């Protein structure tokens, strides 16, 4: 199990990749962001996107899928997140793109009120297959501290 004490400021983790499909882009848009440029090539052709583009919120969901799979597979003692800061969609995400997710820990602090917890902040960057950043945010994550041996 990976605990708060195992984290190092400055450490970068590559979480993995995600292949964006046309079907998933349209399905997500129908359910959660039914703007025309997320639903059809024809509507998107008349916008700055130029073609069907994924919703920014879908890009965030795909990013979370990559991170969550990594966290579960590496048995981290994470306890969720109270939020993200400075979320920016930098470039459109298109069907056929492959997203790559990495994050660098920039700060960690033990909790003052709950000694069994700590938190850390990390800068997450998502790039496409051309290594161009498409999404960036700072996350705050709660983490269990290593139990005392007894």
* Whether the Cβ atoms of residue 37 and residue 49 lie closer than 8 Å to each other: yes
Q: Which fold has domain 4-144?
A: Thiol Ester Dehydrase; Chain A (3.10.129)
Provide, rounded to the nearest whole percent, the portion of the chain with pLDDT above 90. Answer: 93
pLDDT one-digit tens code per residue, 65-87: 999 999 999 888 989 899 999 99
CA-atom Rg of the chain in angstroms: 18
Predicted pLDDT at 148: 81
> What pTM did the predictor assign?
0.93
Locate the domains of the chain by residue range. Answer: 4-144
Compute the distance between CA of residue 119 and CA of residue 142 in angstroms, rounded to an integer: 4
């Amino acid at each position: 199990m990976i605990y708060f004490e195992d984290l190092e400021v400055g450490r970068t983790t590559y979480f993995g990749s995600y292949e964006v499909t046309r079907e998933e882009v349209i399905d997500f848009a129908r359910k959660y962001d039914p703007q025309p440029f997320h639903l059809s090539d024809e509507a998107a052709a008349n916008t700055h996107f130029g073609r069907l583009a994924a919703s920014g919120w879908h890009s965030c969901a795909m990013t979370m899928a990559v991170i969550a799979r990594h966290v579960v597979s590496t048995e981290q003692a994470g306890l969720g997140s109270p939020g993200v800061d400075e979320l920016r969609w930098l470039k459109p995400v298109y069907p056929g793109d492959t997203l790559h997710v990495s994050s660098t820990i920039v700060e960690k602090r033990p909790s003052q009120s709950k000694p069994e917890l700590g938190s850390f902040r990390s800068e997450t960057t998502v790039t496409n297959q051309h290594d161009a950043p498409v999404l960036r945010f700072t996350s705050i994550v709660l983490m269990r501290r290593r139990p005392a041996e007894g």
